[in-house]
Amino acid sequence: MTVWDDLVGQDRVIAQLRSAAVGARGVLAGEESSGGMTHAWLFTGPPGSGRATAARAFAAALQCVSPDLSLGGEPGCGHCDGCHTSLTGTHADVDVVSTELLSIGVKETRDLVRRAALSPAGGRWQVIVLEDADRLTEGAGNVLLKAIEEPAPRTVWMLCAPSVEDALPTIRSRCRHVALRTPPVAAVADMLMRRDGIDPEMASYAARATGGNIDRARRLATDEQARSRRAEVLGLPLQLGDIGSCMAAAQRLVDAAAADAKEITAELDARETEELRNALGANGPGGRLPSGTAGVVKELENRQKKRATRTQRDCLDLALVDLTAFYRDVLTVQLGAPVPLDNEQVRPSVDRVARAGTPEDTLRRIEAILACREAIDANVAPLLAVEAMALTLRAG
């Protein structure tokens, strides 16, 4: 076992990071040349390709203290103290930052900059992994610039974003770029079987249906509800008979996303609120809070509300991605392309939609779904955006 095991189908990237980790050892030993190691990295790749996994694995390799190293072994053994704590997120010198909110603001970023100026407690590297670099606000990005350009000697920044364009140009130019590709379906299925013990049939279904997105494939393979939700979404293209049913279908889609999001957040919210109330000294559940603490509770509520918005958008976005995959299959059938369908299990409806329209219609429909995703990202009321999309899907 090594730290790279969880990185699926990214051989080129693994080779690059491995040699950088070897170079990093040289730097620690006081060698002149850095041998492929540098202080700032930008990991990009489509969702589910394992950006954060790659960054964590690299962090682990940098912190590896395996005894084999002195015998000529490669850093990143996966079972020494350094590797293990880095991967589980408890290493003192590895800071993993991600957000549940819509953006990362200036205030949080200033803390990171302060942290980046510290020397590593373990004497190796101070690693800061910023998982959602695409969610940095412009102001927050600017706060980072100086710290990324000339960090303390042993500080390493690892930023993750879906594409290079998601990072500010000024940040981009200060980082070494690591591009991950969409992992091949077979590799994802193989990983699901190997790591999560999922049976081969389910693994290959989940891997194909999610088009190489590892996180979603795992969720689909392990969660019955995710599968039934997906089936509902894939049924939508056949429900677009008249205007009324389009509107109803749009409403259902948005409601389902809201219900999913609520389920995810409600439990979390209740626990956080209760913990905060206890910390503030409210006497028992539903007891009175001491005066002057209402503001703190309010702040938590605001944060929870922002998280709920984000979660709802994410859920809706997933549904729209599934819908895109459906029309991709329709296009595949219409063009007679010799590639497997993402959604083999709904082939009858794919065929029906394919017969009813032309490839041009399908392309317009895919465009409409993408436009809807963009609109939701730009804060358009979700119901309105989805309704407009459903009506366009119907018209073709």
Partner 1 sequence: MLCVMARKAADDPLAPVTLVVGPEELLVDRAVSAVTRAVRAEDPEADIRDLAPGALQPGMLTELTSPSLFGERKVIVVRAAHDLGTDLVNELKAYLGAPADEVVLVITHLGGPKGKALLDAARKAGAREVACAKVTKAGDRLALVKTEFRTAGRSVTEDAARALVEAVGNDLRELAAACSQLAADTDGVIDEEIVARYYTGRAETSSFDVADKAVEGRAAEALEQLRWALSVGVAPVLVTSALAQGVRNIARLGGAPRGARPGDLARELGMPPWKLDRVRQQMRGWTPDGIVRALQAVAEADAAVKGGGSDPAYALEKAVVTVATVRNT
Q: Which residues bind partner 1 (CB under 8 A)?
A: 242-248, 375, 378-381, 383-385, 387-388, 391-392, 394-395
Q: How far is the CB of 227 from partner 1 (least distance, A)?
A: 29
Q: What are the angstrom distances between the C-alpha of 36 and each of 19, 33, 55, 147?
A: 7, 9, 16, 20
- Say if residue 43 is exposed, middle or buried (CB neighbours under 10 Å; 0-12, 13-18, 19+): buried
| Residue 350 CB, nearest approach to partner 1 (Å) | 24
In the complex, what is the shortest distance from the CB of residue 380 to partner 1, in angstroms, rounded to a whole number? 5
The length of the chain is 396
Using the structure block, give the residue that is written with the tokens 């995703």: 373
Going by the DSSP 8-state scheme, the letter that residue 102 receives in this structure is: S
Tokens, residue 218: 């795992």
Residues of 55-84 as b/e, b for ≥16 C-beta within 10 angstroms?
A: bbbbbbbbbbebeebeeeebbbbbebebbb
* Residue closer to partner 1, measured from CB, 244 or 284: 244
Token duo for residue 19: 């040699």
Least Å distance, CB 371 to partner 1, is: 9
Q: Which is nearer to partner 1, 339 or 378 (CB)?
A: 378
What whole-number distance in Å separates Cα of residue 58 and Cα of residue 36? 13
CB of 62 or CB of 246, closer to partner 1: 246
We find the least distance from the C-beta atom of residue 316 to partner 1, in angstroms, to be 15
Query: Which residues make Cβ contacts (< 8 Å) with residue 53, sequence separation at least 6?
Result: 6, 7
Task: Say which amino acid occupies 160.
Answer: C
CB nearer to partner 1: pick between 259 and 270: 259
Q: Is the Cβ of residue 77 or residue 246 nearer to partner 1 in the bound state? A: 246
Query: Who's near 201: CB < 8 A, 6+ residues apart?
Result: none
Of the pair 361, 387, the CB lying nearest partner 1 is at 387
| Beta carbon nearer to partner 1, 136 or 254 | 254
CB of 138 to partner 1, least distance (A): 13
SS3 136: strand
CB of 45 to partner 1, least distance (A): 28
